Amino acid sequence: MNDGHFSTTHAGDTINAALNRVLAEIKAFLPTMTDFHAAKYVRALDFAQRQVAATVERSPDYFPIYTVSGRWNHPGELWTDWTGGFFAGLMWQFFNRTADPAWRTRAEHYSRLLEHRQHDRNVHDLGFIFLNTYQPWYEWTHDERLHEVLIQAGRTLAMRFRERGQYLCSFIGPESLFIDIMMNVPIIFYAARETDDAELRRIGTAHCRTTRDHLVRPDGSTAHEGIFDVETGRFLRQSTHQGLRADSNWARGLAWSLYGYSQVYALTGDREHLDVAERNADFWLTHLPKDHVPYWDFAADLAAPLPWGPQKDSSAAAIAASGLLDLERQTTDVARAVAYRQTALAMLDALVEPEYLASETPGAEGILKHGVYHTAKNLGVDESVMWGDFFFVEALTKVVHPQE
């Protein structure tokens, strides 16, 4: 013990084994849900299933991104085409939860519609698209063809790597690094692990380190974008598209970083990635407003008019809740584990209430209200967003159906 925290030094197997035993015992006493809360989570999951089934019925083969006045199917701008894996991924989550073959049929159908994206070199989002679809499908079947799609998607994403600068570039161009890519780089580590490919591992690790060094700040907050000199690879400055300012902290970007580094730690076991995720979590936990749902940017001026002022982003809360539930199990620090779980549950408790859950909003087609896609472009502001719905369901499922 050290200041109330367990030591993270590796003094020897015997000490580690003993610490792990004690940690497991203490974790068993972490805050658990009351039946009252559990019932709310189950009702929210049931509602989520009805909403997705209704969207499939209403607009077959359509992949929603954000709503306009609460409705999914509209001709609004995509900005970039990155969210298909969330809609199909919801169907896989529902199949995992219910074992209802109708969900599996839908999940396979919508996943198949995405298969060609394994070769898509125009986006940096292949982790979002394939880890939420082909990975659960492969885990159910062990069909080698599905495995090959996952590996190809990892290899395609790796082609975005810039040796000069040591990062995977965003869809904006070769000079641009996005914090969002931290949630996609896990597919490169997955492909590296499955094929024992040291080159893929090198690329993934270099990307994580460059992001840590240039986008993650010492206090754990994050910039949305980094701009590099493409000739020399020199880092030039922080920037943003979806946040308030270059030096602000776009809430969803921080959630992507927290969860992304946690996922990379899960795939690699390299402690350096857990350290970054914990630093992000420190900022998250100490800057959440009273109702536990962040404003769209942690630096938003709450006196400013909407959409730049006090606009919530429920999707950032959903992503962070799911990430914190993983971090709770990964951290070796009991105080942190307790804080991560309490915060994740507090965020979910807020999101299952009618202020955020669309269950009592007539005509709403999404699951969660009050998400934001792109403030500066005025796309999907104060609307349902597909990734918010996906990570909300994922987080609730982790609580209601914990996996050992």
Give the binding site for ligand GLY (CB under 6 A).
180, 242, 252, 373
Q: Report the residue closest to ligand GLY, judged by CB.
A: 180
Residue 105: CB minimum distance to ligand GLY, A: 29
> 329, exposed or middle or buried, with CB in 10 Å at 0-12, 13-18, 19+?
middle
Instruction: Quickly list DSSP for 9-71.
Output: ----HHHHHHHHHHHHHHHTTS----HHHHHHHHHHHHHHHHHHHHHHHHSTT----B-BTTB
- The whole-angstrom separation of Cα 92 and Cα 304 is 41
Q: Among residues 72 and 373, whose Cβ is nearest to ligand GLY?
A: 373
Task: With beta carbons less than 8 A apart as the criterion, state whether 233 and 299 touch.
Answer: no
Q: Among residues 45 and 179, whose Cβ is nearest to ligand GLY?
A: 179
Task: With beta carbons less than 8 A apart as the criterion, state whether 164 and 216 touch.
Answer: no
Task: With beta carbons less than 8 A apart as the criterion, state whether 322 and 398 touch.
Answer: yes
Closest by CA to 217, choosing from 184, 246, 260, is 246
Residue 252: CB minimum distance to ligand GLY, A: 5
Q: Among residues 224 and 341, whose Cβ is nearest to ligand GLY?
A: 224
Q: Among residues 6 and 366, whose Cβ is nearest to ligand GLY?
A: 366
Residue 274: CB minimum distance to ligand GLY, A: 23
Q: Among residues 45 and 324, whose Cβ is nearest to ligand GLY?
A: 324
Phi then psi for 348, rounded to 5 degrees?
-65, -35
Q: Which helix (H) or strand (E) holds 380?
A: strand 379-383
Residue 86: CB minimum distance to ligand GLY, A: 11
Taking CA atoms, 37 is separated from 45, 90, 325, 364, 393, in Å, by: 13, 22, 16, 24, 15
371-374 and 235-239 as β-strands: parallel, antiparallel, unpaired?
unpaired
The identity of residue 128, as a single letter, is F
Q: Among residues 233 and 307, whose Cβ is nearest to ligand GLY?
A: 307
Residue 242: CB minimum distance to ligand GLY, A: 6
Q: Among residues 180 and 394, whose Cβ is nearest to ligand GLY?
A: 180
Residue 384: CB minimum distance to ligand GLY, A: 14
Residue 251: CB minimum distance to ligand GLY, A: 10
